[in-house]
């Protein structure tokens, strides 16, 4: 049985005082939560602060991106080793905003995943289609291209160490949400692709989160679908009450 996994992507939000307040509230409100994995991904400047606050807590710490090189003249970038050094256990890779605003390709995401795994970080690998691609009937084609490109050259053992997040781009920051049925179709397709490429056991065990306007009001309908194993939460993760409510739904 796959353990549900709910992660909060804070994006470019919060300052230090807000990080302290939000994490303090989450530690208190989620102290009794069991049977679900929980993570938060603050902005880079506050990862060390968040690590100190979360010390000894069951909430895991993640980052929102990273670069694939160990070190060097890469102004503005952050390495996997740096993330490990400040206490991160996981990292979001290939988020649609990284792809569409900053030009990240599947090949780039693939290199990032490889480096993350090499240093012991757990990657959350994001895939998903635009509204135009969905309306053109290309959802599965786009997802397959992305998953195949991101996992090129990986073994079954590698895939067992990551999470996939399906995030329909048209449902991110737009107020729209994929229906539970639409989300389930995409998740089932991803799991089926993993079955065929890496084996049924790996497909059965791989966790696939849904990301795209997840909130307490729709979390139950989404996460009761058989192939949806949790959520990658955006805006709702910036309020302790709403994020905690989504985590409790996942239980």
Residue 132: burial class (beta carbons within 10 Å; 0-12, 13-18, 19+): exposed
Q: Is 97 helix (H, G, I), strand (E, B) or coil?
A: helix
SS3 content of the chain, % helix, strand, coil (to 5): 50, 15, 35
Q: Any idea which residue has 């796959």 for tokens? A: 2
Distance CA 87, CA 123 (A): 15
Task: Supply the residues annotated as catalytic.
Answer: 95, 167
Distance CA 240, CA 23 (A): 8
Structure tokens given for 219 = 């979390």
The residue among 182, 193, 35, 63 whose CA lies nearest residue 124 is 63
Distance CA 43, CA 240 (A): 17
Task: Confirm if 229 and 191 have CB atoms less than 8 A apart.
Answer: no
Within 13 A of 39's CA, how many CA atoms are on the CB side? 28
Q: Are strands 37-41 and 60-63 parallel, antiparallel or unpaired?
A: parallel
Residue 227 contacts by C-beta under 8 Å, 6 or more apart in sequence?
184, 187, 188, 190, 191, 208
Structure tokens given for 183 = 């989300």
């Amino acid at each position: 049985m796959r353990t549900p996994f709910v992660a909060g992507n804070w994006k470019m939000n919060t300052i230090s005082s807000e990080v302290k307040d939000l994490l303090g509230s989450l530690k208190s409100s989620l102290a009794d939560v069991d049977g679900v994995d929980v993570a938060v991904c603050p902005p880079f400047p506050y990862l060390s602060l968040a690590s100190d606050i979360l010390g000894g807590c069951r909430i895991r710490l993640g980052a929102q991106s990273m670069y694939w090189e160990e070190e060097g003249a890469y102004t503005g970038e952050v390495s996997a080793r740096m993330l490990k050094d400040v206490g991160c256990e996981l990292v979001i890779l290939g988020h649609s905003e990284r792809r569409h605003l900053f030009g990240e390709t599947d090949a780039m995401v693939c290199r990032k995943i490889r480096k993350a795994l090499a240093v012991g970080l757990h990657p959350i690998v994001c895939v998903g289609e635009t509204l135009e691609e969905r309306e053109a009937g290309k959802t599965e084609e786009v997802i397959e291209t992305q998953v195949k490109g991101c996992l090129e050259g990986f073994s079954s053992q590698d895939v067992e160490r990551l999470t996939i997040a399906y995030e329909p781009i048209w449902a991110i920051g737009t107020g729209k949400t994929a229906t539970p049925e639409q989300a389930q179709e995409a998740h089932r397709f991803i799991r089926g692709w993993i079955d065929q490429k890496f084996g049924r056991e790996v497909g059965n065990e791989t966790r696939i989160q849904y990301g795209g306007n997840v909130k307490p009001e729709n979390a139950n309908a989404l996460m009761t679908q058989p192939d949806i194993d949790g959520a990658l939460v955006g805006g709702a993760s910036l309020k302790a009450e709403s994020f905690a409510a989504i985590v409790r739904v996942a239980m």
